[in-house]
Amino acid sequence: MTVCVSALRAPGDLSRPRGALPAVRGGLSAVAAALLLWGPAVQAATTLAAGDVALVSFNATPSDDFAFVVLRDLKAGTVIHFSDNGWTAGATFRPNEGYVDWTATVAVSAGQVVRISQADTSPTASTGTAVKRSSFNLANDDSLLAYQGADASPSFVYGVQNQASWNADATSSTTSSLPADLITGQTAVAAKPGGSSMAYTGPTTGSPAALRAAIATASNWAANASPPTAFTLGEGGGGTTPDPELAITPISRIQGRCDACSMAGQTVRIEGVVTAVLPGLKGFFVQTEDGQTDGDDATSEGLFVYAGTLPAGLAVGQLVRAQGAISEYRNLTEMTLNAAEFEIDVRTPAMPRPVTLTLPVEDVGVWERHEGMLVEVKAAGGQDLVVTDNYYLGRYGTLTLATEKQLQFTEAHAPDAAAYEAYLAQVLRAQIVLDDGVSAQNPGELPGRHGQPLSAGNTLRTGDTTPRIVGVLDQLVAGTEAANQTSYRVQPTEAVVFQGEARPTPESLAAELGSPDVKVVGANVLNLFTTLGSASFTTPLGNSMSGRGAEDEVERDRQLAKIVSTLVGMDADVYGLNEIQNNGFGADSALKMLVDAMNAKAGAGTYDYVKGPFQIGSGHTVAGAGTDAISVALVYNTRRVRPHGQAAAADVARYDAFNATYGSRVPVAQTFAPVGNDEAARQFTVVVNHFKSKGSVNDPDVGDGQGANNQARRRAAAQLATWLATNPTGAANTQTVLVGDFNAYAQEDPVKDLEASGFRKVSQGTSYLFQGLHGSLDHVFVSESLADRVGRVIKWRINADEPTVLDYNTNYKSAAQIAGYYSEAAYRSSDHNPVILGLSWRTPPDPEAGEDFELDTGGGAVQGNLAGGGATCRLDASPSSVSGPGSRPAGFTLPYGMLAFSASDCDEGGTVTLTLSYPDTLPAGAQYWKWGPTADNAEPHWFALPTQVEGRTARVTITDGGLGDGDLTRNGRVVDPGGIAVPLAVPGGTVAPVPSLAAWAQLALAGLLGGAAALRRRRRA
């Protein structure tokens, strides 16, 4: 190996096996040159790249034999290890199997086939020596992996799986996942032609690349066949050391003006500055010196060099020359280093300056044009980068950063295929992945806030921010990315520090919620089971199901403690639960286990649960709610409310949306009354729902943003409304609350169907993160008869924003992580945020009384009325028409601008009703939108209020301190900047961006009351 580092280094360190001297910048003295020329030659073993050898036979019976072909020349002393241990999803070998170590005792020429015989007993090799370690034993359906280096940190060379495909994990002695170093069809093959013996029977003449591809083709393997005895390498073959005097090829020429250019397969020599050394990726990045580039912004000046084993002495800032073959690895253009032809120059050049890239980028091609280069990524407008996805933080050490927390399309837009496609493209341009420079899964240390490691007490939530990131731009196409998920990532070269707002707590939730008469919660308990793992159990209806909960008692206890902290911490009166085991109501049930644990924390007898049988109509009952492994359930505080009458469940014989065919879980309803106040007016019915998910396809995804099974969910919404119209619990009134997981985002058809059926959606905010996009599948609806009783509704952001690695699970975690990432606190008790509703039976405001006003908006005169809030509630001044932020809600326009008003001397917690009449009929989808903070998101953002629209008139209610009150304070003052928004026509799918304008929020919340004066204002009797 040629390593030129300094004219002062010992000659023996600079010896070259082939005797030729490379050019060294600055030159060497004649004495030094002579010493270099005549110094002792060191015959180093060959360091292999993936595919430099390929396995060509696999024989599990009667003896354990295998063979491999050498596709490049090997030096004497080269060692290759072979193992039948499976490779786990945690990036380690599965224990308790064996290894065979092969050593080349002489040089081996490219094309030679080496056969290992009797590997399970006393292995012999046709060339070289073979030594067995542990109990090597090939079996039918087994795998065989070839690698160099230590068992704990192998550099894989080739893999064969005697199955039709590689496994997700190594869970048995015959299963194995595919190591990240290897690629099926290139450096690995999964073949099952039949039986336990197979060999490659394809072409044996060609270039190394062609032969490598042929050997990795499963159809070229046959059962009970003999391997080839030799291969003939043609053009590009031989594997001999390339000419060290090969001319330097500019990196920009290698990268070209395309995603995957034509130099793949060619051997080239490059020169550049080392910008990052990444042992975790077994390589390094180089970049052309500033001043030596081609001046073409369309071509990248950076390149990743995959080395396997890093050259000795390699460091950032060095000028190096490297030689090797060019390839595309998961869409990243890279070089596989020929270690014998690598040199470090004595000169230290200036580091290339990072190129600044601003989100959102103009087009996604910007990334490819800078692939491999040092970059600085910022957000436009001087804003911070925002963590929008932390789902893969624990498994891969990655975060997705964007200009804001990115929403699901149908959270804010009506379903539409063209607009959905355009929106995903918009989202894609506004994000970048921050990686950790390690290819192994489940890294040992993860980043948290403030530059400190992640822990149970030091989280890293979505919504956290950092000013910028600096590093090299990498790319990895895993093949599982959604249309909105970028494959480009930054491997940081500077420390990244995140900041974030304080986590929500039970105390802050209580302060935000105020003091309603009744509190109702919808919560997902994430498959809380008493049985462990996949153990079978029997549902109340008698069918057998497999478990899907915690894997062992340790996990179950950890999960239960977190859920109890969540539910007791919310201090609610009624809890509607999703995803609890459907194993009845007895002593061994999940419901009994949960409520016992809640009472242990809150006090004996505090909580109880609603039990079957449930009435289903016509005097009939059913023992439980459906035949699925999970069901919905109700828990209540016995000291505050009591059940009124018998609970009801939908009869699946009549309402087939809730049977196994259509997949929605059976809803359960129970009427309650406050303890000590059983009057009919105070009774309310809670209905818990769990609509069909967007997976396990029933009816297909039509591409409009609603996902699969939308028709199944619409069927559930329609039949739910029909069932509730029969008053299944025999309630004395129609005051009804719907909670649960509706598996539909806010603007999707099932939500709109329920609203059209007479239920008002009163919850806002997001509750779930999926594929990097935030939305709400969990909602609260109330009947119109209960709407005036609604106080604050809060999505408690304790789960969806938190990293998944902080949950109760112990798998794929070290002992230190199992202890350090876990606490019994509520955070990450589920993947859904719970939602809490406050109800108060105060006298509702009279919508006919109030103060009239009129505004000249520029789009025509708007008539307005503000009513309610208490006897002394008054407008501070004439409401004003204001322009508002520079941008508009995504997919909407504000044709009449925005209205700003403030009202004082209102009842604390009082509700005002704002009625606005516009010059023209308002179109379908019109809503009243506001810009500012909400209880679950202190950052200013666009959000919609529940709006009643009839013709030209829109009406909204705003509660002091609740949703829509700009100061979010229960202080008898209501502040409101907002306006009616109508959906954009979306020709070609154009979607407006969502702004992030803190300056406007400050201005609005200060009471922006200037502008056009109201023509008249009066208080009506």
Lowest-confidence segment of 30-39, 133-142, 483-492, 935-944 by average pLDDT = 30-39
The answer for residues whose C-beta is within 8 angstroms of residue 139's C-beta and 6 or more apart is 60, 84, 173, 174, 196
H-state helical runs in 474-586: 506-513, 553-570
Task: Return the top range by mean pLDDT from 103-112, 798-807, 956-965.
Answer: 798-807
Answer yes or no: is pLDDT of 260 > 80: no
Beta-bridge partner residues of 782:
737, 760
Residue 706 near residue 720 (C-beta atoms within 8 A): no
For residue 270, CA distances in Å to 26, 191, 288, 308, 607 come to 19, 38, 9, 18, 71
- 400-446 pLDDT, tens digit each: 999 999 999 999 999 999 999 999 999 999 999 999 999 999 999 99
- 595-610 pLDDT, tens digit each: 999 999 999 999 999 9
Q: Quick one: average pLDDT of 722-740?
A: 97
DSSP states of 936-999: TEEEEEEEEE--EEETTEEEEEEETTSTT-TT---SS-EEEEEEEEEEPP-GGG--PPPP--HH
Residue 718 CA to residue 149 CA, distance in Å, equals 62
Question: pLDDT class for 732, splitting at 50, 70, 90?
Answer: very high
Beta strands in 52-106 (DSSP E): 53-59, 65-70, 79-83, 99-103
CA 152 from centre of chain:
29
Q: Quick one: average pLDDT of 686-707?
A: 95
pLDDT at residue number 973: 87
- 626-681 pLDDT, tens digit each: 999 999 999 999 999 999 999 999 999 999 999 999 999 999 999 999 998 767 88
Q: Given CA atoms 537, 543, 548, 549 in this order, what sign does their dihedral have?
A: negative
H-state helical runs in 151-259: 208-215, 251-255
At 550, is the secondary structure helix, strand, or coil? coil
Lowest-confidence segment of 28-37, 603-612, 653-662, 765-774 by average pLDDT = 28-37
Backbone angles phi, psi at 506, to 5 degrees: -55, -35
- 52-101 pLDDT, tens digit each: 999 999 988 777 899 999 999 999 999 999 999 999 988 899 887 889 99
Q: Which domains does the chain have, with CATH numbers?
A: 53-233 (no CATH), 251-344 (2.40.50.140), 355-492 (2.40.50), 514-839 (3.60.10.10), 851-983 (no CATH)
Residue 583 CA to residue 566 CA, distance in Å, equals 22
Angle at 278 between CA 277 and CA 280, to 5 degrees: 160
pLDDT at residue number 44: 57
At 746, is the secondary structure helix, strand, or coil? coil
Closest of 470, 621, 605 to residue 541, by C-alpha: 621
Answer yes or no: is pLDDT of 247 > 80: yes
